[in-house]
Amino acid sequence: MRILLVEDDSSLAAGLQAALSREGFAVNHVGSGKQALAAVRAEVPDMVVLDLGLPDIDGLQVLANLRETNRGLPVLLLTARDGAEDKVKGLDRGADDYLAKPFDMKELAARLRVIERRLSATAATSRLNVGSVELDTAAHAVTVAAQPLELPRREYMLLKALMESTGKVLTREALEGRLYSWGEEVSSNALEVHIHHLRKKLPEDFIKTVRGIGYTVPRR
């Protein structure tokens, strides 16, 4: 999932980007409300993690502006404000969730996965199944014929994107968008390399399903 992180504390933002990237999210960071609104106009992300204490526009106003044009865009609010009033205002204005600072990174990732599952057709479960391959998004675990399969982060993200999109057409751009953050440099053959490595670890029943998704997996 592609997340727009709106946070003016650059050190906190860097930590959040690194932590969420390890959890399988592609994260783009901006430091102000104006930048956030411009980023969403340019390319709508899958989710927004929005700090309320921004230097230019109050986060609640940013949320209100987002809701005017992107009613279905999930937004999770972050704030250091102690009072319940801001929490109530944020939820009333359309926020999907709320997390008070300081917070545990794993809790933030878990809350984002809950939102992610609501967005997908697999909202009732964290498990994705295609043939003999099962991926548990909550545990970040993959099994093939009930046997554990360890995957590097990018290969896990690629597999997750493919399993979530069975029966849909995925272009190169769509797949790269699921694996890399905005502005991150991607070599011309990076996607092919990930697919090649992933294919060698997967059974033929899965490969046959992947071939129908729209991006052809290269032969071994």
pLDDT at 156: 85
Q: Is the per-residue pLDDT at 129 higher than 60?
A: yes
Kindly report whether the global pTM for this prediction surpasses the value 0.85.
no
Taking only the tens place, the pLDDT of each residue in 66-117 is 988 888 889 999 988 666 677 788 888 888 888 888 889 989 998 898 888 7
Q: Is the per-residue pLDDT at 184 higher than 60?
A: no
Contact in structure between 78 and 101 (CB atoms under 8 Å):
yes
- CB neighbour burial string for 161-199, b if at least 16 within 10 angstroms, e if fewer: bbbbbbeeebeeeebbbbbbbbeeeeeeeebeebbeebb
Q: What percent of the chain has pLDDT over 70?
A: 83
